[in-house]
Structure 1
Amino acid sequence: MNSEKQRLIIWSVVISLLLLVIKFYSFYITGSNAILTDAMESIVNVVASCFALYSVYLSALPKDSNHPYGHGKIEFFSAGIEGTLIIIAGIFIIYQAIVGLIFPKELKDLPIGMGLVGFSGIINGVLGFFLQKKGKSLNSITLEADGRHLVTDALSSFVLIAGIGIIYFSGWIMLDSIISMAFAVFILFNGYYLVRRSVAGLMDESNPKAIGQTVKILNQSRKENWIDIHNMRVQQYGGDSHIDLHLTLPYYFDLIRVHDEVHEVEEVLEQNLPGYVEVFVHADPCLPDSCCHYCQVKDCAVRKHPRTKKIKWTAHNMAKNQKHYHELSQFRSGKQ
């Protein structure tokens, strides 16, 4: 998996370098600030792809004494670097656009420039879409971030061509700087999105998608002996996941039976979630006076109260650090 990530990033670096040369040549022959905008973003593509290559290599390294959870979080850092570079490029583009408004200059060979930018846009779009698709299948935020950036670059190139076409046919040179500033704002927004997502991952912010996927798998594999699951936390380390949860089991299970049930929960998650998954399960005994009301164990020999409700497992109640009888008490109070 990691060798495939590295191969894809290497292709991204090589292609980004070629397109960088093409775009700066296009700016050289036209003198258009709008085309310079596209070329500047390509510099970000190259730098970001190089850092992404390093981050994919680093994230593949095994856990060690200094990094007990592995090196996967470097992928969030990589996405943050890419987002920061995009923001810097956007600020520089705005500066160049303002200079262009104050000191407008004649534009040349716009049809050739449009053709070169259009060619670059097609290549970026195809590569970006492929990287996003692979990033999702390989659970790699680095590939997704790189792919998203390239697709954004491609879309901006096509809109840029339309703007340059208007300038060419209308002769309104001032539009060059106005279009450049509009794209700079768009670029800044995308840079902010990547930085925001990077910070969220580095700060272990709750990921609704990852939690929802975990809850769905546990509900699909739910057994009657798994009386409840609570205090569940899902942390992501790049493409890898670390899951902690408390599993309530019948109090009369012996140690071997408890071990088997815990192992089954671990296997369910490890086999059905993407990437490398590490699961820590803490086993709790049931409390007959409280848990019997929602316990699903059939023909339980020690049941003290009849079952009155089946509690649905959700991201909300599984994250709480308490058994589900608290929820049942709240349900009864509301009913009264």
Structure 2
Amino acid sequence: MQEQKRIILYSLSTGIILMLFKFTAYLITHSNAILTDAVESIVNVIASGFAFYSIHLSSQPKDENHPYGHGKVEFFSVFLEGGLIFIAGLLIVGKAVYNIFFPEQISNLLEGMGMLAFTGLVNFALGTYMIKKGKSLYSLTIMADGKHLQVDSYSTLGLLVGLLLLYMTGVQQIDIVLSLGLGFYILFSGYKLLRKSVGGLMDESDFELINQVVQILEENRKDSWIDVHNLRVQRYGHELHIDCHMTLPNYFDLIKVHEEVSQVDALINKKVHIDTELFIHADPCLPACCHYCNMKNCPIRSEEKKVDIVWDAPLVMRNKKHFDV
């Protein structure tokens, strides 16, 4: 968790410096498009500050009021960042429309473009680093902040191309068109982050993660794991909570059932590389399970095995045994 805080502090301090660069570029050029980029940098700074707080809070241990921990705060961080980006997009579009009727004279364009190019390179490098570290640390907050910085660098690149065209042609309206285009792009980026955060807060299924868990179970399944169904995965920041039903031979005693469940727990925690809490409901097998059961020398088998069933997400997520497969 200390590494996550350190990365966010890098982002926060860098964001403040780059914000000053961009506003300086706007003050010397009076370019509405450059102001667009500068306004978005304010969002970067505020979002990084809240991201630092959310990572600090999510690292706190579980307590009586938060039995599942504090990891959900990361989705609030993403929601705030998306909301700020969306508001910034609205302000940018509004300013561009205003300048259609009340244009400003642009000057010192080359100097402003140079400063802007520097900020774009720094944002892209830092954003790429944060996405890579966010994936390795399984931190949604760091990945969201990194993607935001990359989006900022892409918009800066597009802005530079447009400003170069403006410099070569002298057509002042290009500045307004650039600002409008970037404003709508920023609105869309904010919407995507808002959508992601709401999905996380409402425990929307993460099919990539579910597929990963199911693949691990399929590749390491034991004969005694007759089927797995009603599997659900919830993410709480840097932790996962998985619950499912597992069908085991009905002649296993309680000690044996506990051993099997513990093996699944250890397997998932080892392979997924995220701290995972599992709640496994053990179901006894029924005669209808025999036609796909792999147990050898079963003392209660009512019919021979006839089919092999491959576990995949659609099958394992269903809330019923695999009788009709």
Tell me the TM-score range normalised by the shorter chain: over 0.9
Name the counterpart of 2:311. 313
Which whole-Å CA distance do the structure 2 matches of 1:213 and 1:50 have between them? 32
Which structure 2 segments of 5+ residues have no match?
none
Alignment length, in residue pairs? 325
How many Å apart are 1:38 and its aligned residue? Answer: 0.4
Q: Does 1:202 align with 2:201?
A: yes
Tell me which amino acid in the other structure corresponds to 2:315: N
Q: In the alignment, is the contact (CA less than 8 A) between 1:247 and 1:284 conserved in 2?
A: yes
Which whole-Å CA distance do the structure 1 matches of 2:240 and 2:273 have between them? 8
Q: Does 1:101 align with 2:100?
A: yes
TM-score after normalising by structure 1 = 0.95
Question: Which of 295, 301, 312 is equivalent to 1:303?
Answer: 301
Which whole-Å CA distance do the structure 1 matches of 2:215 and 2:318 have between them? 17
What is the CA deviation profile of residues 211-263 of structure 1, one whole-angstrom value per residue up to 9, with x for unaligned ones?
00110111111000000011111011122110001111111111111111010
What is the CA deviation profile of residues 125-164 of structure 1, one whole-angstrom value per residue up to 9, with x for unaligned ones?
0000000111111111101110000001011111111111
Tell me which amino acid in the other structure corresponds to 1:45: N
Q: Does 1:222 align with 2:221?
A: yes
Which whole-Å CA distance do the structure 1 matches of 2:75 and 2:275 have between them? 16
What is the CA deviation profile of residues 269-324 of structure 1, one whole-angstrom value per residue up to 9, with x for unaligned ones?
1111132110111111101x201111001121221111111111111111111111
Q: Does 1:112 align with 2:111?
A: yes
Give the secondary structure class of the aligned counterpart of 1:292: helix
TM-score after normalising by structure 2 = 0.99
Which whole-Å CA distance do the structure 2 matches of 1:170 and 1:99 have between them? 23
Give the secondary structure class of the aligned counterpart of 1:204: coil
Which whole-Å CA distance do the structure 2 matches of 1:261 and 1:315 have between them? 21
* Counterparts of residues 1-336 of structure 1 (less than 5 Å): 2-287=1-286, 289-325=287-323, 327-328=324-325
Tell me which amino acid in the other structure corresponds to 2:168: F
Alignment RMSD, CA only? 0.8
Give the secondary structure class of the aligned counterpart of 2:291: coil
How many Å apart are 1:17 and its aligned residue? Answer: 0.1
Which whole-Å CA distance do the structure 1 matches of 2:100 and 2:165 have between them? 17
Give the secondary structure class of the aligned counterpart of 1:293: helix
Which whole-Å CA distance do the structure 1 matches of 2:16 and 2:274 have between them? 30
Which whole-Å CA distance do the structure 2 matches of 1:279 and 1:200 have between them? 22
Which whole-Å CA distance do the structure 2 matches of 1:218 and 1:101 have between them? 60
Give the secondary structure class of the aligned counterpart of 2:228: strand
Moved more, 266-275 or 140-149: 266-275
Which whole-Å CA distance do the structure 2 matches of 1:110 and 1:133 have between them? 35
Q: In the alignment, is the contact (CA less than 8 A) between 1:270 and 1:279 conserved in 2?
A: no
Which whole-Å CA distance do the structure 2 matches of 1:275 and 1:72 have between them? 13
Tell me which amino acid in the other structure corresponds to 1:302: I
Q: In the alignment, is the contact (CA less than 8 A) between 1:138 and 1:274 conserved in 2?
A: no
Which structure 1 segments of 5+ residues have no match?
329-336
Tell me which amino acid in the other structure corresponds to 2:83: T
Identical aligned residues as a percent:
49
How many Å apart are 1:104 and its aligned residue? Answer: 1.2
Which whole-Å CA distance do the structure 1 matches of 2:233 and 2:164 have between them? 50
Which whole-Å CA distance do the structure 2 matches of 1:88 and 1:323 have between them? 48
Which whole-Å CA distance do the structure 2 matches of 1:158 and 1:319 have between them? 43
Q: In the alignment, is the contact (CA less than 8 A) between 1:9 and 1:52 conserved in 2?
A: yes
Which whole-Å CA distance do the structure 2 matches of 1:58 and 1:221 have between them? 35
